[in-house]
Amino acid sequence: MGDIFSHFFVLGGIAIYKILHQIIFLIIISIVLISSIFIPTLNSYTNQNSIFQNNIILNPDGFIWPIPGYTKITSPFGRRNSPTAGASSYHYGTDIGAPEGTNLVAVADGKISFLGFLGAGGYTLTLSFESFKVTYCHISPNYLVKEGDIVLQGQVIAKVGPKYVYGVPGNKYKDSNGKPTNGATTGCHLHLGVRINDKYINPLECF
């Protein structure tokens, strides 16, 4: 009798063992499936703030915002109705409204590669690094840096300029009353332009 009972007990044990084995197998399969679904999603989420070109991450750390305290986009990158004579109908930058004298900071470590009055951009500063050229337009003519300076990310490199500038040779931009303006502008703002290998991109992709 004892032998029969122990025989059933062993059979029962084997059945439970087989069921447990199948449950563990199913759990492992589930983990593998869930991982393969979610891990690519996580990757694309972490990468969405970076610029990709030929699958190379050009700004792995991102830019910092160029105009602390001001985030109102007054004119986005892309096609638009020209707001004033001489302003392009395709807008190669992002306009951020701010009063005259607002600090402008370097979006990344780089070199001041241009500083001067540049047609529609008015008083303009260009910051260069790697394959990037970042342009700040309509700035104050009271420069804080000079061409060739190496600057650090976050350093104040310029200030938002006045709407009107006087005595600039060759400035053809003016308002409806004939007063000369700081390039093609209807009011104080930062025009931020970003080029990669001399091709303009939407600056907002950099943050």
* Number of residue whose CB is nearest Zn ion: 191
Site residues for Zn ion, window 123-182 (CB under 5 A)?
none
Closest by alpha carbon to 191, among 86, 110, 62?
Answer: 86
Q: What x-and-dash track marks residues 46-85 binding Zn ion by CB under 5 A?
A: ----------------------------------------
Of 74 and 103, CB closest to Zn ion: 74
Of 93 and 162, CB closest to Zn ion: 93
For 72-122, give the DSSP string.
-EEE-SEE---SSTTS-SEE-SEEEE--TT-EEE-SSSEEEEEEEE-GGG-
Of 159 and 191, CB closest to Zn ion: 191
Q: How far is the CB of 148 from Zn ion (least distance, A)?
A: 26
Q: Is 96 in the site for Zn ion (CB under 5 A)?
A: no
Q: What x-and-dash track marks residues 23-52 binding Zn ion by CB under 5 A?
A: ------------------------------
Q: Is 95 in the site for Zn ion (CB under 5 A)?
A: yes
Q: Hey, which bits of the chain come out as E strands?
A: 52-53, 56-57, 73-75, 78-79, 90-91, 94-97, 103-105, 110-117, 123-129, 132-137, 150-151, 156-159, 189-196, 199-201
In angstroms, the first-to-last Cα distance of the chain is: 79
Three-state SS at 192: strand
- Answer for which of 159, 163, 191, 195 binds Zn ion (CB under 5 A) is 191
Of 163 and 191, CB closest to Zn ion: 191
| Interface positions with Zn ion (CB under 5 A) | 93, 95, 191
